[in-house]
Amino acid sequence: MTTMIQNNRARLNLAKASHNLKTAQLYELAIKNGEAQLSDRGALVTNTGKHTGRSANDKFIVKDAETETKVNWGKINKPISIEAFARIRDEVLDYLSTKELHVQDTIAGADPKNCVYVEIITETAFHGLFARNMLSSLNTNSAVLSYGEDVIDAYKAEYSVYHAPHYQLDPSKETELNSGTAILVNYSTKEVVIVGTEYAGEIKKSVFSLLNYLYPQRGIMPMHCSANASEHGEVSIFFGLSGTGKTTLSADPERKLIGDDEHGWSDEGVFNFEDGCYAKSIALTPRSEPEIYAASCRFGATIENVVMNDKRELDYFDKSITENGRVSYPIHFIPNSLFGRFVRKQPKNIIMLTCDAFGVLPAVSKLSPEEASEHFMLGYTAKIPGTEMGVTEPKAVFSPCFGAPFMPLAPKVYGDLLKDRISHAKVNCWLVNTGWAGGKFGEGKRMPLSLTRSIIHRINNGSLAQVKMVKHPILGLEVPESIDSPETQWRDQAEYKKAAESLMTLFKEQQD
């Protein structure tokens, strides 16, 4: 534990705080304090106010001697001075010192040799429960069984997250800020300050950002992905931005779920960063997502920004608060989840998912290590009309590493790590289009989920890697001869060629 963290713990008088309260205790306090309500099915429900998603414009990284040459500074990784951080942290600590605090001692990263000790210090019981769900809390049986008693007994907080959701800063006094909300990361002093937002996702993504900075320096590839494994430990990794089917396609009843969002890839294998899941709840039904729906109905789940009526019934189709309603729950709520969240084997397949709304990309393509690295660096998908104000035509979206908002280092660092690991482990790599064929959105048809599931099944059982591949004449991708390419479904081949060349131009511009 750093001297800075020790001093701040004393300043907060954490001896009087509640430590590692269990789920029932946090429920009682959250309801008693008016932070949340109980749903008819047993979940703890809250409304996070004006912030129903991440506050990307309010996230900053401290620029100092350590980070100046390491961090990929720009619109995403915005700098804040050492002095401004210290003032804001001290102001937040002064505020928190007057509150009844809840501490969760947690472990991030399911690899016992590379796990990181993170204490979450918050003013709300609700967020204490969220931290307990999403990270491995020290006083749970799963933590002891996953890490072993030596790791548990050695616990001393390496990183501290100071969480003050109900406090607002004065941006007129702190001119380096954009508003009264701030998410500040100091890699050198190992501190995170979250202030002015009740959206719980800021906690998990801040920890993700910490590991994304730390792990590459240990030779570990951090990944914004889902992952599952066969009964024999054959791992498939699913990269993909929101709306591409990452969560849906990795939740396979025939395979074990390692995790749905954040993982590491080390010399020993693939491991989950978290001990929980944080799923979107919009249009959630027992039919569409049976496992996630069942998890959302259990005691211990937390739910954000979903409309609840007087009978305490939740309406997952009501968008009046937001489309970004969220449910958090321990991963063991998913029946086929992998206990321990760590497969000590190199992955067999990497599947990059894209929702191509232009109707150009094949249903599946086999990628070389170099092509896989290129597509990883692109992080391509497309928005469809109606998903965002002003979007009236399909719009290409690029998020390098399939998670640019959470990657503090240069994309090339992660891309080179991925390429090296793919080559060393001889991983089969695939690009799967879950978007449109036969025309762009509004003209063509969405790839049938049954087709995509069949492709994923054939990837996982190894049969697709055995079929003959042919080079696509325009895209240059290797595609299975047995699966129709999208141009076969376009009525006008000249229009397909024009659309394909246009998309390739967008790719080239992004790479340049």
Q: Would residue 224 show up in a list of annotated catalytic residues for this protein?
A: yes
- Which of 234, 1, 214 has the alpha carbon at shortest distance from 114? 214
Residue 345 has a pLDDT of 96
- Which two tokens mark 1? 């534990």
Structural domains of the chain, with CATH: 3-50+57-220+266-342 (3.40.449.10), 348-511 (3.90.228.20)
Residue 57 has a pLDDT of 95
CA pseudo-torsion sign 209, 211, 213, 216: negative
Give residue 20's pLDDT band: very low, low, confident or very high (50, 70, 90). very high
Active-site residue, selected from the candidate residues 59, 132, 326, 341: 326
Specify burial of residue 54 (Cβ count, 10 A radius: 0-12, 13-18, 19+): middle
- What three-state secondary structure class fits 72? coil
Q: Compute φ and ψ for 274, nearest 5 degrees.
A: -115, 175
In the predicted structure, residue 401 carries a pLDDT above the cut 60: yes
Active-site residue, selected from the candidate residues 54, 78, 87, 497: 54
Q: Would residue 482 show up in a list of annotated catalytic residues for this protein?
A: no
Q: Measure Cα distances from 43 to 35, 104, 329 in Å.
A: 13, 20, 9
Give residue 10's pLDDT band: very low, low, confident or very high (50, 70, 90). confident
Instruction: Dump pLDDT digits (tens) for 222-255.
Output: 999 999 999 999 999 999 988 888 888 898 889 9
Q: Would residue 296 show up in a list of annotated catalytic residues for this protein?
A: no
Q: Would residue 247 show up in a list of annotated catalytic residues for this protein?
A: yes
Q: Would residue 281 show up in a list of annotated catalytic residues for this protein?
A: no
- H, E, C per residue of 356-389: CCCCCCCCEEEECHHHHHHHHHHCEEEECCCCCC
- Which of 322, 488, 502 has the alpha carbon at shortest distance from 394? 502
| Span of 27-41, 127-141, 150-164, 481-495 with lowest mean pLDDT | 481-495
Residue 235 has a pLDDT of 97
- What three-state secondary structure class fits 124? coil
Q: Amino acid letter at 380? A: Y
Active-site residue, selected from the candidate residues 261, 337, 365, 383: 261
In the predicted structure, residue 7 carries a pLDDT above the cut 70: yes
In the predicted structure, residue 485 carries a pLDDT above the cut 80: no
Residue 9 has a pLDDT of 76
Diameter over CA atoms, the chain: 72
Euclidean distance between CA atoms 267 and 483, whole angstroms: 35
Q: Would residue 11 show up in a list of annotated catalytic residues for this protein?
A: no
Contact 181, 197 (CB under 8 A): yes
Active-site residue, selected from the candidate residues 59, 163, 190, 246: 246
Give residue 387's pLDDT band: very low, low, confident or very high (50, 70, 90). low
Active-site residue, selected from the candidate residues 242, 368, 423, 454: 242
Q: What percent of the chain has pLDDT over 90?
A: 83
Beta strands 256-259; 221-229: pairing state: antiparallel
Q: Which helix (H) or strand (E) holds 418?
A: helix 411-425
Q: Would residue 205 show up in a list of annotated catalytic residues for this protein?
A: yes
Q: Which helix (H) or strand (E) holds 125?
A: helix 125-134
Beta-bridge partners for 262: 224
Q: Compute φ and ψ for 409, nearest 5 degrees.
A: -90, 170
Instruction: Dump pLDDT digits (tens) for 435-447.
Output: 999 999 999 999 9
Euclidean distance between CA atoms 279 and 292, whole angstroms: 8
Active-site residue, selected from the candidate residues 51, 59, 204, 224: 224
In the predicted structure, residue 28 carries a pLDDT above the cut 70: yes
Per the prediction, the chain carries an average pLDDT of: 93
Active-site residue, selected from the candidate residues 48, 67, 247, 337: 247
Residue 139 has a pLDDT of 81
Residue 14 has a pLDDT of 85
Euclidean distance between CA atoms 281 and 284, whole angstroms: 5
- What three-state secondary structure class fits 259? strand
Residue 1 has a pLDDT of 57
Cβ count near 8 (within 10 Å): 21
In the predicted structure, residue 384 carries a pLDDT above the cut 80: no
Active-site residue, selected from the candidate residues 205, 255, 375, 458: 205
Q: Which residues contact 23 (CB under 8 A, 6 or more apart)?
A: 129, 132, 299, 300
Cβ count near 86 (within 10 Å): 15
Phi-psi region of 102 (alpha: psi -120 to 50; beta: other; left: phi over 0): beta
In the predicted structure, residue 385 carries a pLDDT above the cut 80: no
Q: Would residue 105 show up in a list of annotated catalytic residues for this protein?
A: no
